[in-house]
């Protein structure tokens, strides 16, 4: 018999197929930078600035040679741009110095880079390298997973562990995208549309937000 996690993913993937709009990128380097920029900012906001940004800084070498103040001018419309500018320039310099300008393809080395935590590394590995080692748990996934009863974890890492246990591995690479999309379209933070929800019969909503 399918687990609750499997049933949730089956239904939501069917419901939201083709609706998710992710970060625009042409290679792993661009994906990495865009993912760092997307922290506490919508993908749409990042996608508005990255075409011009990557036109100026198309690779690690060009970004490594950049002045942080110039970088800020390109990303000042997104949240936390001061910190993000320092992080992505620092990231680029390390990539050039240690990795020949390439992004490493493992969790340990990725999470040692500026601006990259486990959530960001999971996205880079999954989308950029087709390696699924875990599930990226951002604020949306954290909220939805707890609300629908797939986890009662108090931290993103605890929620990730619960999702890895509850959801079959074949779905891991889609969990972040699907739960974010469902959270924006139906299971909104305030006034969720429970009457319109395709998984209402599976939902364990009990006041946990």
Asked if 119 is an active-site residue, the reply is yes
Residue 158, pLDDT score: 97
Residue 86, pLDDT score: 97
Helix residue ranges per DSSP H, 1-80: 4-16, 28-37, 43-56, 60-64, 68-75
Q: For the whole model, what pTM was predicted? A: 0.83
Residue 40, pLDDT score: 86
Domain boundaries, the chain: 4-19+134-196, 28-129
Q: How far apart are CA 137 and CA 122, in angstroms?
A: 9
Query: Measured on CA atoms in the order 59, 87, 163, 144, is the torsion positive or negative?
Result: negative
Residue 42, pLDDT score: 85
Q: Which of 67, 84, 119, 198 is catalytic?
A: 119
Residue 41, pLDDT score: 87
- Would you identify the CATH topology of the domain 4-19+134-196? Endonuclease Iii, domain 2 (1.10.1670)
Asked if 84 is an active-site residue, the reply is no
Residue 94, pLDDT score: 98
Q: Which of 24, 102, 138, 198 is catalytic?
A: 138
CA distances in angstroms from 125 to 32, 66, 104, 190, listed in the order given: 10, 26, 9, 32
Class of the CATH domain delimited by 28-129: mainly alpha
Q: pLDDT tens across 163-175, in order? A: 999 999 999 988 9
Query: What value, to the nearest 5°, has the Cα angle with vertex 122 and ends 208 and 47?
Result: 90
The parts of the chain modelled with pLDDT lower than 70 are 18-21, 205-209
């Amino acid at each position: 018999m399918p687990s609750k996690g499997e049933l949730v993913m089956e239904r939501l993937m069917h419901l939201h197929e083709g609706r998710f709009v992710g970060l625009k990128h042409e290679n792993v380097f661009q994906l990495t930078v865009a993912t760092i920029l997307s922290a506490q900012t919508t993908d749409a906001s990042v996608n508005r600035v990255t075409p011009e940004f990557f036109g100026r800084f198309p690779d690690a070498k060009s970004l490594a040679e950049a002045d942080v103040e110039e970088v800020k001018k390109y990303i000042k419309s997104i949240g936390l741009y001061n910190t993000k500018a320092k992080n992505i320039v620092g990231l680029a310099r390390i990539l050039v110095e240690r990795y020949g300008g390439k992004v490493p393809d493992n969790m340990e080395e990725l999470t040692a880079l500026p601006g990259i935590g486990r959530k960001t590394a999971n996205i880079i590995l999954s989308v950029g390298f087709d390696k699924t080692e875990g599930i990226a748990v951002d604020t949306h996934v954290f909220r939805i997973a707890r609300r629908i009863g797939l986890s009662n974890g108090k931290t993103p890492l605890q929620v990730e562990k619960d999702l890895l246990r509850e959801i079959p591995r074949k779905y891991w690479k889609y969990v972040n995208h699907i739960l974010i999309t469902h959270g924006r379209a139906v299971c909104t933070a305030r006034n969720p549309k429970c009457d319109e929800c395709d998984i209402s019969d599976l939902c364990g909503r009990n006041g946990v937000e």
